[in-house]
């Protein structure tokens, strides 16, 4: 599982000209799922992301977590995070999980994130054509891959 997290001042996702979700200060998470991903990775990623100290404290040092600032989160499915660009100019998405595997894991990720953060999060809609808007704060953008946790 691969997650691109962006510290944001605000973010939203629009589907068919309707805003589905929006947040203020917090994290925008783009989540890419592979076939071999499982619940253990979800729990580890959620814990890692929620407790990552990437928000500024009173001394303007990145020393506070999403939980510390009582921040919000917007979680968007993003199969293109597993694009392979080794051959040619057209990316291959062979490593991205198919919907029958990805949808339950995406929903499990959202549920686990809400459980660990102890609040509801904003979401996109799996497989929809989404327009994501954000005001990146910093900018701070970090890529986390569960395969690289050890």
Alpha helices in 52-139 (DSSP H): 99-117
Q: Cite the active site residues.
A: 80
The C-alpha atoms of residue 104 and residue 111 are separated, in whole angstroms, by 10
Residue pair 15/128 in contact (Cβ under 8 Å)? The answer is: yes
Closest CA to 144 of 18, 55, 14, 46: 46
Reduced to 3 states, what is the DSSP secondary structure of residue 103?
A: helix
Residue pair 29/66 in contact (Cβ under 8 Å)? The answer is: no
The C-alpha atoms of residue 105 and residue 111 are separated, in whole angstroms, by 10
Rg of the chain's alpha carbons, rounded to an integer?
A: 15
């Amino acid at each position: 599982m691969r997650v691109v997290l962006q510290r944001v001042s605000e973010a939203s996702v629009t589907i068919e000209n309707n805003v589905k979700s929006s947040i203020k200060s917090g994290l925008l998470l783009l989540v890419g799922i592979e076939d071999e991903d499982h619940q253990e990775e979800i729990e580890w990623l959620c814990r890692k992301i929620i407790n990552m100290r990437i928000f500024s404290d009173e001394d303007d040092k990145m020393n506070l977590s999403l939980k510390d600032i009582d921040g919000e989160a917007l979680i968007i499915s993003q199969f293109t995070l597993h694009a392979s660009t080794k051959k040619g100019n057209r990316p291959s998405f062979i490593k991205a999980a198919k919907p029958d595997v990805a949808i339950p894991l995406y929903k499990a990720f959202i549920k686990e994130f809400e459980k660990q953060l102890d609040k509801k999060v904003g979401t996109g809609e799996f497989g929809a054509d989404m327009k994501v808007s954000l005001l990146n704060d910093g900018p701070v953008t970090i890529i986390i891959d569960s395969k690289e946790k050890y």
